[in-house]
């Protein structure tokens, strides 16, 4: 039979980007970013793990990740030829 575990204290984590202690009690608060050699990387890049981050840092990382995806899509788009 499985065990029921009730955490009596908040699930606090240290943000992997800014170092702030954050509460991860709610599933929507549990955000992670891919990390390569200790630094955040894009979701399309190589990574060697993930680190938990606060909501503020996740928002900044997500915006940067979206810009990287758009930038890569433009860079890889076929060149237009004149009509």
Confidence (pLDDT) at 79? 66
Confidence (pLDDT) at 55? 87
What 21-25 contacts at long range (C-beta under 8 Å, 24+ apart), as own/partner pairs, is 22/52, 22/54, 22/55, 24/52
Ranges of the chain whose pLDDT falls below 70: 1, 5-10, 79-83
Q: Is the whole-model pTM more than 0.85? A: no
Instruction: Using alpha carbons, select from 42, 25, 24, 44 the residue that is nearest to residue 33.
Output: 42
């Amino acid at each position: 039979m499985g065990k029921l575990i009730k955490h009596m204290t908040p699930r606090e984590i240290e943000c992997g980007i800014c170092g702030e202690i954050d509460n991860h009690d709610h599933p929507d608060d549990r955000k992670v970013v891919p990390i390569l050699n200790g630094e955040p990387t894009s979701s399309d890049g190589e990574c060697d793990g993930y680190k938990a981050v606060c909501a503020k840092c996740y928002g900044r990382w997500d915006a940067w990740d979206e810009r990287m995806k758009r930038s890569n899509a433009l860079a890889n788009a076929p060149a237009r030829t004149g009509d």
